[in-house]
Structure 1
């Protein structure tokens, strides 16, 4: 952990002695774990670490990325050996597909790279047989990025904006290092790239997507690019998200720019989804003819809720409720 004695892992190069309690831009000392979960869609044991080198206005995990400032408390430091042992237990008990990686997210886990390297070494010592993954905003030094490429079998990189003014306004940081690292990742670690991605924020980053797509295509048109629809939160809580039509249009822009593998997820609906509206008619009788109750119940049914009128006390699925914890990484 000697890197933390004069930390220069990200491009802020603060030189903070994080082992002695000095706080750089990321505000963190040793790595602290917020949560862990086995993800079927990602076939990964996900470890969420606290802290970030950005101050993104749109961050949907701001209680984690801006830790300790929001005042929430988490599990704290977990020794690498204990983390890998816990991963072994959770993976063995996981009923889904085979878990192939321990994936680190945040915040931005690049500020905890020495910890991740220790975990990787412990994976080898314990013979767990999984790779290492990382999801990052790409604000690493060249030296840190080289270590990430050498270490990780799966890498997701988020390019939050193309122009420096927009990137600075949104994240508080310049975009140059991110674009440099994206290029080096394609050049040196193409096989490890899971996706590049951008959150589409109307009036902010939607106009950046075409340039980002053109940049990626100039590096390698086969790199997968994913557009994520912004959901209002954090400082941008009252800012609208994109429509389904806008997400479709932007995918077309990306393909026109030369990218071969483009997809999107998430949008901000301006009306009740068709499938929910149509389903509401089925529940009118069950809820005493009350259209508001029927519409509300249709949302639960769309998740897979089987009991109508709803009665969680007698539900056969109460131990595995499909209407609970609908995080995107769990899948639908």
Structure 2
């Protein structure tokens, strides 16, 4: 943990002693875990770490990234050996898609790179066949980025904006280091790239996507690029999200910029989805013809809820309720 005694892991290079309670831009000391989960869609055991080197206005995990400011409290530091042992146990019990990595997210996990390196060493010590993954906004120093590429099997890099004014207004940080690191990743770690991505915020980053796509295409037109529809959150809670049409249009723009693999997920709905409307019509008799009840229940049915009228006490799936959590990024 010597890096934390004079921290220069991200481009702020604060130089503070995080082990003695000094706080840099990220405001955190040792790595603290907010949550863990097995993700079948990512084939990964996800570890969410507290803290971030950004102050993004649109962050959908601001209680985690802006910790400790929001006032939420979490479990705290988990030793690497304990984290890996827990991961081993939970992965063994998981009945979904095979887990191939321990993936770190946040916040931004680059500020906890020494801890992640400890976890990687512990994975080897415990004999697990798991790689390391990182999802980052790319605001690392050159030295940190080199370590990330050497360490990871899978890397997701988010380029939040192309122009420096937009990037600074949105994140509080300059964009130069991010573009530099994106170029380094393509040249030195191309096989590790899962995706590059950008959150599309109407009137803010929507005009940036084509420029980002052209930049990526100039490096390697085959790099996967994903556009993520903004959902109102945090400081931008009352700002509108993009429509389906806007997302499709931006994908076309990015392809015309030279990228071969472009897709999108998430948008701010303007109407009830067709599949939900069909479910509502089907379920109407079960709810006495009450349209409000049928529409409400249709969202549960679309997730896989089998009992209608809903009756959780008699449901055969109550120990694995499919309506407990909807992961919108898994579909459009």
1:228 matched to 2:217? The reply is: no
Measured in 1, the distance between the counterparts of 2:184 and 2:49 equals: 25
- The match for 1:63 is 63
Contact 2:138–2:181 under 8 Å retained in 1:
yes
Shift of 1:331: 7.2
State how 1:235-250 maps to structure 2 within 5 Å. 235-250=235-250
1:219 matched to 2:219? The reply is: yes
Measured in 2, the distance between the counterparts of 1:137 and 1:218 equals: 20
Measured in 2, the distance between the counterparts of 1:206 and 1:98 equals: 35
Shift of 1:329: 6.4
Q: Which runs of 5+ in 2 are unaligned?
A: none
Shift of 1:61: 0.4
Report the aligned-residue RMSD.
1.1
Paired residue secondary structure (1:102): strand
State how many pairs are aligned. Answer: 332
Measured in 2, the distance between the counterparts of 1:131 and 1:278 equals: 42
Measured in 1, the distance between the counterparts of 2:148 and 2:328 equals: 25
CA separation of 1:331/1:250 partners in 2, compared to 1, >3 Å: closer, same or farther? closer
Moved more, 190-199 or 121-130: 121-130
Shift of 1:299: 1.2
- The match for 2:263 is 263
Shift of 1:199: 0.4
Contact 1:284–1:290 under 8 Å retained in 2:
yes
Contact 2:266–2:329 under 8 Å retained in 1:
no
Measured in 1, the distance between the counterparts of 2:134 and 2:178 equals: 15
Q: Which runs of 4+ in 1 moved over 2 A?
A: 327-332
- The match for 1:44 is 44
Paired residue secondary structure (1:157): strand
CA separation of 1:199/1:273 partners in 2, compared to 1, >3 Å: closer, same or farther? same
Paired residue secondary structure (1:34): strand
- The match for 2:307 is 307
- The match for 1:135 is 135
Measured in 2, the distance between the counterparts of 1:241 and 1:142 equals: 34
CA separation of 1:111/1:23 partners in 2, compared to 1, >3 Å: closer, same or farther? same
Shift of 1:102: 0.7
Contact 1:41–1:331 under 8 Å retained in 2:
no
Shift of 1:260: 0.6
- The match for 1:166 is 166
Contact 2:232–2:239 under 8 Å retained in 1:
yes
Deviation digits for residues 20-71 of structure 1 (CA, Å, limit 9, x no counterpart)? 0001000000000001111111111110000000000000000000001101
TM-score, length basis structure 2 = 0.98
1:79 matched to 2:79? The reply is: yes
Paired residue secondary structure (1:70): coil
Measured in 2, the distance between the counterparts of 1:27 and 1:331 equals: 35
Contact 1:51–1:106 under 8 Å retained in 2:
yes
Paired residue secondary structure (1:76): coil
State how 1:17-28 maps to structure 2 within 5 Å. 17-28=17-28
Shift of 1:129: 1.5
Contact 2:265–2:331 under 8 Å retained in 1:
no
Shift of 1:278: 2.3
